[in-house]
């Protein structure tokens, strides 16, 4: 850890100077045991109840034991060959016995760092450090396991190195050890979710309502067939548990959710019961925010927030293992406050959208009034969904590409869908916009994406958004994207491709007010 | 001012679209023919073994589909186009589902130049621009090698120039 080579130096001298092997650190010696214990569960699950019936308990235990010992040896060998070290502004991880692999992770590409502590790790005082890097299909290089102290120190150090631009590091000197000391966690708690709310919210899910039905179905099934074998019941229950216990898993995962703000524009999220997670996301790494109002949560007027960080990969439906929670459950005020923190200057209450033209109504017999798109000073807002309403906020500065897609039905209706792709896997989707409007929207998005970046790129300090929750004066519905009513071609087409005056995109200054209400109110009947 | 309502021709007065090489039609047709032959031979063998009319119906269906796709291929290749604007690359393609991608140079992560065996035989290459977003779709097939390397070099130069990444 004594490689105090100035991080601002070009990479080649660093590499030459770096003592290749000397500083390589090992993971904690208990890691193979923990890995072995983890694989025990996998082995048992893979063997399934069916095998237990065929082999009988004694043989089954022996098979499991043999496999577990094998897994243990395998992890021990893996542990012996795994090492990591921080060289300059890179984290290098080497692993593998037969296929040696040396990975250098450039820390300026670091998106977020997460400290996970599964149950066994909590009992042994260990933690797993997961880094999210762009381009990694999954969490790159989970360092499992380190002691909690080591892991937090390493995390601090990595974040410290990652936040520094070359200019900044040259100015502030290069002493990672000193830096690690100065960053004492003077975080201040922004929000915590009460476990009561979390429990109630997960009771208000379709799965929770289906659980009694499922149980009743299983019982009748067995009563009808009259075959009350332990194995039969156990395997049915296991199969059901996979689907129906999702709410319970969510409760366990999001237990004791706390969100704090650490110095240097970072968000600090902590949650979990059996597996605690503590995640640090630099605010400027947030690619998109999604707000969801599930159907049943309307009873209590709740919603949840998810945030996208590049490297999480595309979110899968029903996959709860990702760490994309920004707020597991909360009311409107909490969401408004959080969004104002994460995307400074964005006021959730003022995000109006306009629905697509009414002639696409027969494509979306129910959801039409809940779809919409709005261009706001800093973010693109898209909404859709009839039952579970969703709203996606993509800051223009994080737009990666803009796509316009028109299917055959859409061509008949003269509409097209505009996608605003962000790096986190979610896109802002403006469905079925009038074609002329879609072109104007795409052009405007490309222009705003460019403009949003311009003041940022030369800034040396790595874009630390200002603290506090104070939407600028002009953020209200003023610049809402207001296309003309009906299918009159919007004046937006007149926008040339080059740099245009930065005034908001308000084609006709007809009303100056959005054609739609705020996000939670029912939009007026078309 | 004329209003652009053609899905493939937005902003006709500010954007000059460049077509891809018409040799791509041949490449597509050969690729199609190879698949046709494989499928027809497979189904023919099935007919020889089984002597059932279903196999022949399958052959007919494959041939019909092939003819239809061959006619579409010509128009599909003509539908491909790309335009280099000051700050972004635009790519349009598709007939049934029409797509247009606008990718700012600044968001470029890397550029791929690939050429399959048939493409190589006709001296064509495919340039693909990748961003950090999985959804981005900026692929330009059917470029002559010199145009492909010119585009690649220009993209990388522009990307370096304005690299903002994420």
Q: Are B149 and B131 in contact (CB under 8 A)?
A: no
Residue B40 to chain A, least CA–CA distance (Å):
30
The backbone torsions φ and ψ at residue A141, rounded to the nearest 5 degrees and listed phi first, read 55, 70
User: Nearest Cβ partner of B97 from A405, A445, A489?
Assistant: A405
Chain A nearest-CA residue for B86: A498
Mutate to test the interface with B, among A284, A400, A409, A459 (most CBs of B within 10 A): A400
Task: Say whether A405 and B98 touch across the interface (CB within 8 A).
Answer: yes
Output DSSP code: residue A81: T
Residue B108 to chain A, least CA–CA distance (Å):
8
**pLDDT at position A19:** 45
Q: Which residue has the higher pLDDT, A478 or A358?
A: A358
User: What does the buried/exposed string (b/e) look like for A391-408 if buried means 16 or more CB atoms within 10 Å of the residue's CB?
Assistant: bbbbbbbbbbbbbbbbbe
Q: Which of A139-148, A454-463, B129-138, B143-152 has the lowest mean pLDDT?
A: A454-463
Dihedral of CA A72/A75/A80/A81: which sign?
Answer: positive
Task: Say whether B134 and A313 touch across the interface (CB within 8 A).
Answer: yes
Mapping DSSP to helix (H, G, I), strand (E, B) and coil, where does residue B117 land? helix
Report which listed range, A520-524, B85-89, B160-164, is most confident. Answer: B85-89
Q: Which of A179-188, A389-398, A427-436, B118-127 has the lowest mean pLDDT?
A: A179-188
**pLDDT at position B9:** 62
Report which listed range, A311-325, A492-506, B130-144, is most confident. Answer: B130-144
pLDDT tens by residue, A284-310: 888 899 999 998 998 899 999 998 887
Q: Are A493 and A436 in contact (CB under 8 A)?
A: yes
Ramachandran region of residue B77, left (φ > 0), alpha (ψ -120 to 50) or beta? Answer: alpha
**pLDDT at position A246:** 80
- H-run or E-run covering A445: helix A435-453
Q: What percent of chain A has pLDDT over 90?
A: 21
Mutate to test the interface with B, among A138, A401, A459 (most CBs of B within 10 A): A401
Contacts of A317 (CB under 8 A, 6+ apart): none
**pLDDT at position A223:** 78
Task: Say whether A446 and B136 touch across the interface (CB within 8 A).
Answer: no
Q: How far apart are CA B64 and CA B68, in angstroms?
A: 6
Chain B nearest-CA residue for A444: B102
Strands A83-87 and A90-95, bridge-based pairing: antiparallel
Q: Which of A94-98, A174-178, B83-87, B107-111 has the lowest mean pLDDT?
A: A174-178
| Mean pLDDT of the A24-33 span | 88
pLDDT tens by residue, B29-79: 999 999 999 999 999 998 998 888 888 899 999 999 999 999 888 888 988
pLDDT tens by residue, A233-277: 777 777 777 767 788 888 988 999 999 988 888 899 999 998 899
pLDDT at A497 over 70: no
Task: Say whether A439 and B11 touch across the interface (CB within 8 A).
Answer: yes
| Mean pLDDT of the A334-344 span | 91
Task: Say whether B107 and A457 touch across the interface (CB within 8 A).
Answer: no
For every residue of A120-173, DSSP letters joined together read HHHHHTEEEEEEEETT-SS-EEEEEEEEHHHHHHHHHHHHHHHH--HHHHHHH-
**pLDDT at position A459:** 36
pLDDT tens by residue, A74-115: 889 988 888 898 888 888 888 877 888 888 888 887 888 889
Task: Say whether B99 and A403 touch across the interface (CB within 8 A).
Answer: yes
pLDDT at A485 over 80: no
A-B CB pairs within 8 A amount to: 126
Confidence tier at A322 by pLDDT (50, 70, 90): low
pLDDT tens by residue, A265-284: 889 999 999 889 999 988 88
Q: How many helices (H) and strands (E) does chain B have?
A: 4, 7
**pLDDT at position A270:** 92
Task: Say whether B100 and A408 touch across the interface (CB within 8 A).
Answer: no
User: Nearest Cβ partner of A403 from B86, B88, B101?
Assistant: B101
Task: Say whether A423 and B104 touch across the interface (CB within 8 A).
Answer: no
Distances (CA, A) of A394 to A6, A143, A475: 36, 31, 15
pLDDT at A524 over 50: no
Q: Which of A138-142, A187-191, A278-282, B147-151 has the lowest mean pLDDT?
A: A138-142
The four Cα atoms A157, A162, A166, A172 give a dihedral, to 10 degrees, of: -40
Q: How far apart are CA A497 and CA B138, in angstroms?
A: 19
pLDDT at B82 over 60: yes
Q: How far apart are CA B156 and CA B105, in angstroms?
A: 8
pLDDT tens by residue, A153-194: 999 898 888 875 443 333 333 343 433 344 445 678 888 999
**pLDDT at position A460:** 37
Q: What is the mean pLDDT of chain A?
A: 74
Confidence tier at B27 by pLDDT (50, 70, 90): very high
Task: Say whether A497 and B85 touch across the interface (CB within 8 A).
Answer: yes
pLDDT at A204 over 60: yes
- Residue A398 with chain B: CB contacts under 8 Å: 166
Task: Say whether A285 and B166 touch across the interface (CB within 8 A).
Answer: yes
Task: Say whether B4 and A493 touch across the interface (CB within 8 A).
Answer: yes
Q: Which residue has the higher pLDDT, B33 or A458?
A: B33
Q: Are A442 and A481 in contact (CB under 8 A)?
A: no
Confidence tier at A361 by pLDDT (50, 70, 90): confident
- Residue B93 with chain A: CB contacts under 8 Å: none
Q: How far apart are CA A349 and CA A381, in angstroms?
A: 12
Give the length of chain A.
Answer: 526
Q: How far apart are CA A107 and CA A92, in angstroms?
A: 10
Confidence tier at A135 by pLDDT (50, 70, 90): low
Chain B nearest-CA residue for A110: B166
Q: At the topology level of CATH, where does A11-27+82-183 sit?
A: PH-domain like (2.30.29)
pLDDT tens by residue, A471-482: 333 333 333 334
Ramachandran region of residue A226, left (φ > 0), alpha (ψ -120 to 50) or beta? Answer: left
Q: Are A126 and A117 in contact (CB under 8 A)?
A: yes
- Residue B132 with chain A: CB contacts under 8 Å: 134-135, 310, 400, 423
Domain spans of chain A? 11-27+82-183, 195-254, 258-312+328-494
| Mean pLDDT of the A493-502 span | 36
Chain B nearest-CA residue for A489: B3
Task: Say whether B131 and A401 touch across the interface (CB within 8 A).
Answer: yes
Chain A nearest-CA residue for B137: A403
pTM value is 0.75
Q: Which residue has the higher pLDDT, A147 or A497?
A: A147
Confidence tier at B165 by pLDDT (50, 70, 90): low
In sequence order, which ranges of chain B are alpha helices (DSSP H)? Answer: 23-50, 53-79, 117-121, 145-162
Confidence tier at B13 by pLDDT (50, 70, 90): low
**pLDDT at position A522:** 35
Q: Which residue has the higher pLDDT, A424 or A372?
A: A372
**pLDDT at position A226:** 66
**pLDDT at position B108:** 83
- Residue A285 with chain B: CB contacts under 8 Å: 166
**pLDDT at position A5:** 36
């Amino acid at each position: 850890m004594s490689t105090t080579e100035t991080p601002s130096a070009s990479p080649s001298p660093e590499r030459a100077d770096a003592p290749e092997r000397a500083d390589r650190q090992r993971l904690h010696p208990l890691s193979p045991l923990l890995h072995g214990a983890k694989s025990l569960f996998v082995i048992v699950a893979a063997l399934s109840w069916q095998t237990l019936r065929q082999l009988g308990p004694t043989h089954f235990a022996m098979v499991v034991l043999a496999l577990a010992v094998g897994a243990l040896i395998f992890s021990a060998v893996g542990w012996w060959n795994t090492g990591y070290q921080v060289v300059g502004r890179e984290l290098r991880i080497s692993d593998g016995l037969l296929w040696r692999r040396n990975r250098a992770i450039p820390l300026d590409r670091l998106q977020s760092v997460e400290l996970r502590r599964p149950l066994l790790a909590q009992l042994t005082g260990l933690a797993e450090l997961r880094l999210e890097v762009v381009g990694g299909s999954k969490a790159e290089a989970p360092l499992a396991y380190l002691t909690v102290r080591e892991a937090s120190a390493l995390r601090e150090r990595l974040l410290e190195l990652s936040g520094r631009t070359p200019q900044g590091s040259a100015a502030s000197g290069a002493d990672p050890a000193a830096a690690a000391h100065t960053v004492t966690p003077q975080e201040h708690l922004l929000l915590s979710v009460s476990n009561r709310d979390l429990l109630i919210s997960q009771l208000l899910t379709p799965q929770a309502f289906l659980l009694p039905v499922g149980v009743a179905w299983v019982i009748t099934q067995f009563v009808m067939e009259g075959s009350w074998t332990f194995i039969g019941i156990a395997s049915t229950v296991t199969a059901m548990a996979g689907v129906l216990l999702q709410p319970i898993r969510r409760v366990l995962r999001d237990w004791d959710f706390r969100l704090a703000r650490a110095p240097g524009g970072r968000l600090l999220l902590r949650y979990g019961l059996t597996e605690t997670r503590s995640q640090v996301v630099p605010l400027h790494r947030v690619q998109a925010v999604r707000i969801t109002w599930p159907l049943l949560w309307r009873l209590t007027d709740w919603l949840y927030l998810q945030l996208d960080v590049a490297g999480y990969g595309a979110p899968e439906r029903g996959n709860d293992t990702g760490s994309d929670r920004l707020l597991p459950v909360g009311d409107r005020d909490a969401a408004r406050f959080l969004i104002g923190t994460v995307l400074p200057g964005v006021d959730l209450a003022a995000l109006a959208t306009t629905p697509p033209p009414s002639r696409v109504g027969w494509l979306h017999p129910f959801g039409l009034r809940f779809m919409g798109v709005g261009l706001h000073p800093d973010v693109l807002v898209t909404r859709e969904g009839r039952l579970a309403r969703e709203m996606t906020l993509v800051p223009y500065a994080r737009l990666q590409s803009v796509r316009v897609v028109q299917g055959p039905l859409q061509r008949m209706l003269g509409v097209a869908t505009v996608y605003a792709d962000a790096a986190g896997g979610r896109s802002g989707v403006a469905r079925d916009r009038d074609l002329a409007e879609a072109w104007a929207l795409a052009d405007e998005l490309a222009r705003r994406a460019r403009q949003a970046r311009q003041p940022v790129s030369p800034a040396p300090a790595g874009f630390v958004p200002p603290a506090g929750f104070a939407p600028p004066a002009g953020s209200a519905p003023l610049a809402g994207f207001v296309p003309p009513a009906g299918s009159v071609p919007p004046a937006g087409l007149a926008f040339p491709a080059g740099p245009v005056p930065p005034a908001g995109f308000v084609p006709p200054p007809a009303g100056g007010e959005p054609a739609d209400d705020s996000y939670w109110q029912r939009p007026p009947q078309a | 001012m004329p209003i652009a309502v053609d899905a493939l021709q937005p902003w006709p007065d500010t954007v000059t679209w460049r077509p891809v090489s018409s040799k791509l039609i041949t490449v597509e047709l050969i690729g199609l023919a190879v698949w046709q032959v494989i499928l027809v031979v497979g189904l023919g063998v099935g007919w020889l073994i089984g002597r059932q009319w279903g196999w022949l119906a399958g052959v007919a269906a494959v041939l019909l589909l092939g003819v239809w796709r061959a006619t579409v291929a010509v128009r599909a290749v003509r539908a491909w186009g790309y335009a280099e604007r000051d700050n972004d690359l635009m790519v349009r393609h598709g007939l049934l589902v029409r797509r247009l991608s606008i990718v700012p140079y600044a968001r470029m992560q890397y550029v791929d130049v690939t050429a399959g065996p048939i493409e190589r035989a006709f001296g064509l290459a495919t340039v693909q621009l990748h961003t950090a977003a999985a959804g981005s779709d900026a692929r330009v097939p059917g470029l002559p090698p010199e145009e492909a390397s010119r585009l690649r070099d220009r993209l990388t130069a522009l990307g370096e120039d304005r690299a903002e990444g994420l």
